[in-house]
Amino acid sequence: MALEDLYREVILDHYRNPRNRAALGQANAVADGHNPLCGDEVRVELLIEGDEVAAIGVTGHGCSISQASGSMMGDAVKGRSIETIRILTGRFKGMMSIDGAGDPGLDPNRPGAVLGDLESLQGVRKFPVRIKCANLPWTTLEEAINNFVASH
């Protein structure tokens, strides 16, 4: 049944026990994202050292999909270079696009850009109104990185 595709156990686990949830004391890149439709809010804080995201904090509130996506995103981007994160972001959004079936970005062997748990969010694609929820943390992450790059 479609609902089970959406609410995979790993998603519910990230929702109940979100990782990277703490606000960063020493962030040097921040962005706030919100979905005016449903009121979801997310804040992404990054500590960028050199060209690498050394630490990430994802806070806010919202539905299971936006929260799980943010939690998994934190795990996936921590310790990665900005370039890798951009690739990862592209892949994630590709996976979320309605025609994303068979997206080449899902090759789990590609070094440095593994979606891992994030693949569990594939089922969201079947629920078009929820795609925005899954993308919200990523769009906010992109904005935080862009803010950082623009000011450095």
Stretch that binds another protein, among 3-11, 20-28, 74-82, 136-144 (CB under 8 A): 3-11
Amino acid at 117: D
**Number of residues near another protein (by CB under 8 A):** 22
Stretch that binds another protein, among 1-9, 24-32, 98-106, 140-148 (CB under 8 A): 1-9
Residue 143 interacts with another protein (CB under 8 A): yes or no: no
What whole-number distance in Å separates Cα of residue 46 and Cα of residue 99?
A: 31
What whole-number distance in Å separates Cα of residue 108 and Cα of residue 119?
A: 10
Q: In 3D, which of 73, 51, 68, 66 has the Cα closest to residue 9?
A: 68
Task: State which residue, 77 or 134, has the beta carbon closest to another protein.
Answer: 134
Residue 27 CB neighbours (<10 A): 18
List the interface residues with another protein, window 83-142 (CB under 8 A): 127, 129-130, 133
Task: State which residue, 47 or 127, has the beta carbon closest to another protein.
Answer: 127
Q: Is 35 helix (H, G, I), strand (E, B) or coil?
A: strand
Q: Where are the beta strands (DSSP E) in the chain?
A: 29-35, 40-49, 52-61
Stretch that binds another protein, among 31-39, 70-78, 79-87, 144-152 (CB under 8 A): 31-39
What whole-number distance in Å separates Cα of residue 131 and Cα of residue 123?
A: 10
**Minimum distance from CB of 64 to another protein (Å)?**
5
**Minimum distance from CB of 115 to another protein (Å)?**
22
Q: Is 34 helix (H, G, I), strand (E, B) or coil?
A: strand
Residues near another protein (CB under 8 A) = 1-4, 6-7, 12, 37-41, 61-65, 67, 127, 129-130, 133
